[in-house]
Amino acid sequence: MPDPTTTTTEAPVTDPTSATPGLHLDVRGSTPGGATVFDVRDTSVYYGDFRAVRDVNLTVKQHQITAFIGPSGCGKSTMLRCFNRMNDLIDTARVEGQISYHGVDLYDPAVNPVEVRRRIGMVFQKPNPFPKSIYENVAYGPKVAGAKGDMDEIVERALRGAALWDEVKDRLKESGMSLSGGQQQRLCIARAIATDPEVLLMDEPCSALDPIATGRIEDLMLEIKQQFTIIIVTHNMQQAARVSDRTAFFTTEVNEESDHRTGMLVEFAETDKIFSNPDDERTENYVTGRFG
Amino acid sequence: MLVRRSFQEELDQLRLQVELMGVKVDHNLERLRVVLADGDEVAAAAAVACDDEIDAMNVSLTERCYELLVREGPVASDLRFIVSVLRILSELERIGDLALRVVKLNPERRLWSSTAVTFDILVSMGEVAVEAYRDALRAWSAQDLELATDLATRVRVMDLHYERLTAELLRLRGDDAVRIATATLIAGRSLERIADHAAIIGARLRYLLTGDPDHLSAEVR
């Protein structure tokens, strides 16, 4: 089993074009800006008998940044991993309800999860470059996916897209591990966008970075949202307020009998509203730091 | 689990200190009324001293707000509260200045009171201004949305008084007419502005309590 903390390009790749013809996922450009990319309906995620998150309903719009916030254990990362079927890699995980991607049921048995992960890339909390050269880190995914065309161009485009090209263009053969933490995270973003995905899932991408590196990643997110649709999980509420268009606030509810905590979506709205005048008192208490 | 208790305590303290500053302004409005009615020079001197205290409180509480903004990074109702306090502090300070402007016209009182009709209007305007201000102070103390809404939307009796005052002053004739009109108009305009600032406090309180930014438009002057 691949390391689930790596980017999508490390997922077990078979034939990325093997999805059933009727369930083509390559729909970028087929919908106008602001169109719905994901439509989540009554979705719950279980690990065995334990329901980790329940009854989520939300939509993710194209070329927007959608932030998931909430206390630890509220199910926001679990929910994020549903969007590229990363939970498939956990034997006991089960998703109920429906998650549509441009109208296609992501969990339809006919949909190839590898193709899903190529379309929907992921960047993780801790930068995790391969112990290979900067060039190889970026080229790996496109090579495995059988990309046609000039690989040098693909690598340069991805590194430029991740605002890293100018810093590394003269040392592409050096190890990716030699870069600073912030550069490593941008290398991981370059790696994720090298396979030309439509969506980027980011799971606390700045939590291991200093404020300057965090600022660069945030600037980058705002630049690349013209090309991608981004969903970010963050504990940094100012980050959510700074970069996202819409914000979903999750919290936990405790079952008194079993003491199990189940995550749930409390409120989903324009980010301005969530941070200025949320409808739900639980959201207000969380964003103002009253309850954790 | 309830957290950030000390921040909450600081916000509570800030609310009470704004109220305290409001009470000082109220004292000066009471002095204004006394000076207006009978030219009490002791009350006029006390008003000048009290205004210095109001100004000092304004500076000190404004700095406290800036400190909280920097330190706490407030959002939602906390942010609305602090930015509203900043606005209300400035309104209170302005009301204090306007009251003092009228009090400082005391040496000219002979001119105001020389014409019964305009003097009566001026006294009525003083009553309306003080009443509006006291409603604003009560609304703030109780965080009373109903009273705040009433303040921000009530029919402006003050405008009618001011129009009448202007019309009556235009009728004045005689050697002192211009001096009487000037002094009375300065006092009348100050009283009218006090009521305006009280209405702005009501509008700001509505924004604070509801989060609806439409209420901010009522503050545009």
Q: For A156-191, b where at least 16 C-beta lie within 10 A, e where not — what string?
A: bbbbebbbbbebbeeebeeebbebeebbbbbbbbbb
Distance, CA of A98 to CA of A43 (rounded, Å): 6
Of A99-108, A144-153, B67-76, which range is least confident? A144-153
Give A194: exposed, middle or buried? Use CB within 10 Å, 0-12, 13-18, 19+. buried
In a domain, A107, yes or no: yes
Distance, CA of B176 to CA of A242 (rounded, Å): 63
Say yes or no: B58 contacts chain A, CB-CB below 8 A.
no
Residues in chain B closer than 8 A to A292 (CB atoms): 1, 3
**pLDDT above 70: percentage of residues in chain A:** 88
What type of residue sits at position A266? V
pLDDT tens-digit map of B167-180: 999 999 988 899 99
Total domains in the fold of chain A: 1
In a domain, A143, yes or no: yes
CB A165 within 8 Å of CB A153: no
List, in order of start, the domains of chain B with CATH numbers: 5-219 (1.20.58.220)
| Interface touch B2/A284, C-beta < 8 Å | no
Is A292's pLDDT higher than 70?
A: no
Instruction: Quickly list DSSP for A118-179.
Output: HHEEEE-SS----SSBHHHHHHHHHHHTT--S-HHHHHHHHHHHTT-HHHHTT-TTSBGGGS
CATH classification at residue A216: 3.40.50.300
Structural domain span for residue A232: 35-287
| Interface touch A292/B1, C-beta < 8 Å | yes
pLDDT grade for A258, boundaries at 50, 70 and 90: confident
Can you give the pLDDT at residue B2? 65
Of residues A267 and A144, more confidence is placed in: A267
Is B96's pLDDT higher than 70?
A: yes
> Which of A251, A272, A277, A282 should be substituted to probe chain B, the one whose Cβ sees the most B Cβ atoms within 10 Å?
A277
Of A233-242, B1-10, B81-90, B109-118, which range is least confident? B1-10
pLDDT tens-digit map of A145-199: 888 889 999 999 999 999 999 999 999 999 999 999 999 999 999 999 999 899 9
Q: How large is the ipTM?
A: 0.73
Which single residue is written with the structure tokens 């190890």? A175
Minimal Cα–Cα distance from B62 to chain A, Å?
21
Measured between alpha carbons, how far is residue B101 from residues B42, B95, B96, B136, B183 in Å? 16, 10, 9, 21, 11
Is A77's pLDDT higher than 90?
A: yes
Pairing of strands A246-254, A229-233: unpaired
pLDDT tens-digit map of A208-227: 888 888 998 999 999 999 99
Tokens of A132: 């290979």
